C-alpha cells in the first residue's frame, strides 16, 4: 500500500478518535448534569484542562505503543482489545493526573465513568466503520489490480490469503498447468493458460502479477517474468523454494545481490536504543551499589575465605563472543577442583548447567550474597561495557557451551543479561534445561521494552524476598 495513504488513514483515525471523545464528553455531561456543559461542581476550565490531558495522553499512548501499525488489517477482536487497552492506559494516566494535581475529589466520578465507557464504545464503532468505508474507497479507487499466476492446486488458498490485504485486488487468474479459461475460482475469472498467457497479458488491465510457481517450474517462471518485465508490469514473486517455517523474512540487497534474509528476531531500533539507555542507567546504579557494599564484602570474604574479592570467568556472549564476567567470589578457592566430585549431585536434568542445594563449596557469606543476588552486582561492569544487558539470557560457561546442540545455541543469539525470563519464572526451582531454553527462546521471540520492564519488576520482587539463586 502507498505509504502516504497509510499515513493519511492513521492521521484521520486520530482526528476521528478525538471527535468521538468530544462527543462522548458532551453526552456524558448530558447524562450526568442534563446539559452539554460540565455544570457547577467544577469550572468548565478545569474540565477542559482534563479533556485536553485525556486527548494528549491518548495520542501519546498511540505513538508509544504503535497501536495503529496494523490498523487497516487487524480483525474485530484485536480491534476491541486494543481500543480497550488504550483507554485503560489513559485512565491510569488520568488517575496519576488527579493525584499530582490533587483534583480527584472535585470531579464527578459518574460523569467520568460515562465519558470513558462512551469513548471506548464510540471509538470501537468508529474504527469499524472507518475501515469498512476506507476499504470500499481504496478497493474501488486505489487498489493494485493483480493477476495471480500459479497452478490449479494452490489458486484457491492464495486467493483467500491475498484477499485479506486491502491494497491488492486479484482481478484475474492464469494457470500454468490447466486450461480453465472462462471458468472462475472463488469468483475470480481464469483469464489464461500457459499457451495463451503472453497474448492475454498484453490485453488485460493489470498493475502487477503475483507469481506463485513451484521451483520445479523455474524455467516457466523465468519465461513469464520475461513477458511481464517487457510489458512494464510489476512482479510479486513468491520465493516458493525458500519457504522455511521459522524466523521473519525480509528481502534486502547486499551489494548487487538481492537476498531473502531470515532472522529469528528483528527488533525495533527505537526499542534497542531505549534498552541500551536503560542498561547504562541501571548499570550505573548497580555499580554504585557495588561500591557501597564492596568494603563489607571484602572484609567478610577475607575472614571466611582469604583470596580475591572478585571472581572472573570466561563466558559466552552474543553469538559465541567470549568475555570475562565479574562476580563477588562466593566460593572457596578450590571450588573448581571439587566440582568433578560433586557432579553426581547435580540437581539439573542435564550437564548443561551445574547446581546443587547446600553446595559445600560456598562459604557462609557467599550463601547470604547469593540469597539476595549481591554476588551479581559486579556484573554492572559488564553491562556498562556493553558485554551484557540488564535483561537477557544467562551466559553459559565455555564447557557448558561445548555441549549445546543447534537449538540450545539460540540462547546466545542475543546479548546475555543479569536477569531474564526463566530466572523470574521460578528462579532456582527451574531444573529442566529444556524448559530454560524454551523460556529463553520465548523471551527472544517476543522481546520488547515492556517485557523487560515486567521482568525487572519481578526480579526486584524476587530479590527483596530472598529467593535468589542458591
Helix (H, G, I), strand (E, B) or coil at 340: helix
Is residue 208, in this structure, part of any structural domain at all? yes
Same domain assignment for residues 200 and 187? yes
Q: Which of 103-107, 233-237, 401-405, 454-458 has the lowest mean pLDDT?
A: 103-107
Domain count, the chain: 3
Residue 470 resides in a domain: no
Higher pLDDT, 135 or 320: 320
Q: Is 353 helix (H, G, I), strand (E, B) or coil?
A: coil
List all residues 6 or more positions away from 378 whose beta carbon is below 8 Å from its beta carbon: 290, 310, 326, 327, 328
Average pLDDT, the chain: 85
- Compute the C-alpha angle 103/104/105, nearest 5°: 100
Asked whether residue 280 falls in the same domain as residue 338, the answer is yes
Let me know whether 105 and 155 are in one domain: no
Other C-beta atoms closer than 10 Å to the C-beta of 98 total 16
The answer on 125 and 88 residing in a single domain is yes
Give domain status of residue 89, yes or no: yes
Give yes or no: residues 106 and 156 share one domain.
Answer: no
> By three-state DSSP, how is residue 201 classified?
helix
One domain, residues 111 and 8: yes
312/44: higher pLDDT: 312
| Structural domain includes residue 237 | yes
pLDDT at res. 139? 63
pLDDT given for residue 466 in this prediction? 59
Which residues have CB under 8 Å from 377's CB, separation 6+? 286, 289, 290, 293, 328
What is the pLDDT averaged over residues 9-20? 90
pLDDT band at 40 (very low <50, low <70, confident <90, very high): very low
pLDDT at 386: 93
Q: Which domain holds residue 193?
A: 143-243
Residues 92 and 163 in one domain: no
323 and 458 in one domain? yes
Check whether 241 has a pLDDT greater than 70.
Answer: no
| The C-alpha cell that represents 427 in the structure block | 528462579
Boundary of a domain, candidates 106, 140, 174: 140
Residues 414 and 441 occupy one common structural domain: yes
**Domain holding 232: CATH number?**
3.40.50.720
Is the pLDDT at 428 greater than 60? The verdict is no
Among 191, 208, 243, the domain boundary falls at 243
- The verdict on residue 249 lying in a domain is no
Last residue of a domain, one of 140, 167, 183: 140
What value does the mean pLDDT take over residues 12-20? 93
Q: What is the mean pLDDT of residues 270-290?
A: 93
Residue 257 has pLDDT above 80, yes or no: no
Q: Residue 240: is its pLDDT beyond 70?
A: no
Higher pLDDT, 47 or 451: 451
At 324-370, the pLDDT tens digits run 999 999 999 888 777 777 777 766 656 667 777 778 899 999 999 98
pLDDT of residue 66: 78
For residues 249-266, average pLDDT: 73
Asked if residue 73 is part of any domain, the answer here is: yes
- Both 182 and 154 in one domain: the answer is yes
Given a cut of 80, is residue 39 above it in pLDDT?
no
- For the stretch 159-184, pLDDT in tens is 988 877 767 889 999 999 888 988 99
Residues 48-62 have pLDDT tens digits of 888 899 999 999 888
301 within a domain of the structure (yes/no): yes
In a shared domain, residues 281 and 403:
yes
In a domain, 260, yes or no: no
Written as one string, the DSSP assignment of 174-218 is EESS---TT-EETTEEEEE-TTTHHHHHHHS--SEEEEE--GGGH
pLDDT of residue 301: 94
Of residues 258 and 417, which shows the higher confidence score?
Answer: 417
Residue 435 pLDDT grade (very low, low, confident, very high; cuts 50, 70, 90): confident
362 and 416 co-located in one domain: yes
Amino acid at each position: 500500500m502507498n505509504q502516504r495513504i497509510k499515513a493519511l488513514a492513521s492521521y484521520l483515525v486520530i482526528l476521528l478518535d478525538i471527535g468521538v471523545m468530544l462527543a462522548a464528553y458532551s453526552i456524558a455531561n448530558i447524562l450526568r448534569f442534563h446539559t452539554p456543559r460540565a455544570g457547577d461542581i467544577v469550572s468548565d476550565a478545569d474540565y477542559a484542562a482534563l479533556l485536553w490531558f485525556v486527548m494528549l495522553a491518548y495520542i501519546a499512548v498511540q505513538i508509544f505503543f504503535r497501536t495503529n501499525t496494523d490498523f487497516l488489517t487487524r480483525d474485530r477482536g484485536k480491534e476491541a482489545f486494543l481500543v480497550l487497552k488504550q483507554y485503560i492506559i489513559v485512565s491510569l494516566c488520568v488517575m496519576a493526573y488527579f493525584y499530582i494535581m490533587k483534583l480527584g475529589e472535585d470531579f464527578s466520578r459518574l460523569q467520568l465513568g460515562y465519558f470513558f465507557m462512551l469513548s471506548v464504545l464510540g471509538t470501537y464503532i468508529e474504527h469499524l466503520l472507518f475501515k469498512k468505508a476506507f476499504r470500499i474507497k481504496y478497493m474501488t479507487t486505489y487498489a493494485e489490480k493483480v493477476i495471480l499466476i500459479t497452478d490449479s492446486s494452490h489458486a484457491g488458498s492464495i486467493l483467500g490469503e491475498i484477499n485479506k490485504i486491502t491494497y491488492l485486488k486479484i482481478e484475474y487468474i492464469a494457470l500454468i498447468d490447466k486450461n480453465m479459461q472462462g471458468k472462475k475460482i472463488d469468483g475470480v475469472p481464469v483469464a489464461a493458460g500457459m499457451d495463451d498467457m503472453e497474448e492475454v497479458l498484453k490485453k488485460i488491465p493489470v498493475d502487477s502479477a503475483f507469481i506463485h510457481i513451484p521451483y520445479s517450474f523455474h524455467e516457466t517462471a523465468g519465461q513469464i517474468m520475461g513477458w511481464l518485465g517487457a510489458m512494464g508490469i510489476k512482479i510479486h514473486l513468491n520465493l516458493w523454494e525458500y519457504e522455511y517455517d521459522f524466523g521473519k523474512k525480509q528481502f534486502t540487497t547486499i551489494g548487487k545481490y538481492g537476498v531473502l534474509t531470515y532472522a529469528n528476531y528483528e527488533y525495533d531500533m527505537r526499542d534497542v536504543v531505549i534498552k541500551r539507555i536503560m542498561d547504562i542507567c541501571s548499570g550505573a546504579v548497580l555499580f554504585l551499589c557495588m561500591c557501597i557494599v564492596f568494603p563489607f564484602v571484602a572484609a567478610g570474604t577475607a575472614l571466611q575465605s582469604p583470596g580475591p574479592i572478585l571472581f572472573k570467568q570466561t563466558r559466552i556472549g552474543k553469538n559465541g563472543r567470549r568475555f570475562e564476567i565479574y562476580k563477588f567470589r562466593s566460593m572457596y578457592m578450590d571450588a573448581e577442583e571439587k566440582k568433578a566430585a560433586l557432579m553426581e549431585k547435580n540437581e539439573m536434568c542435564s550437564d548443561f548447567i551445574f547446581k546443587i542445594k547446600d553446595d559445600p563449596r560456598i562459604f557462609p557469606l557467599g550463601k547470604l550474597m547469593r540469597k539476595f543476588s549481591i554476588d551479581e552486582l559486579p556484573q554492572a561492569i559488564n553491562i556498562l561495557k556493553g558485554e551484557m544487558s540488564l535483561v537477557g539470557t544467562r551466559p553459559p560457561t565455555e564447557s557448558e557451551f561445548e555441549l549445546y546442540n543447534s537449538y540450545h545455541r539460540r540462547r546466545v543469539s542475543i546479548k546475555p543479561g543479569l536477569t531474564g525470563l526463566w530466572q523470574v519464572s521460578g528462579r532456582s526451582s527451574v531444573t529442566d534445561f529444556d524448559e530454560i531454553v524454551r523460556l529463553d527462546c520465548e523471551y527472544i521471540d517476543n522481546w520488547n521494552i515492556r517485557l523487560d520492564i515486567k521482568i525487572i519488576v519481578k526480579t526486584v520482587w524476587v530479590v527483596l524476598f530472598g529467593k535468589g539463586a542458591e
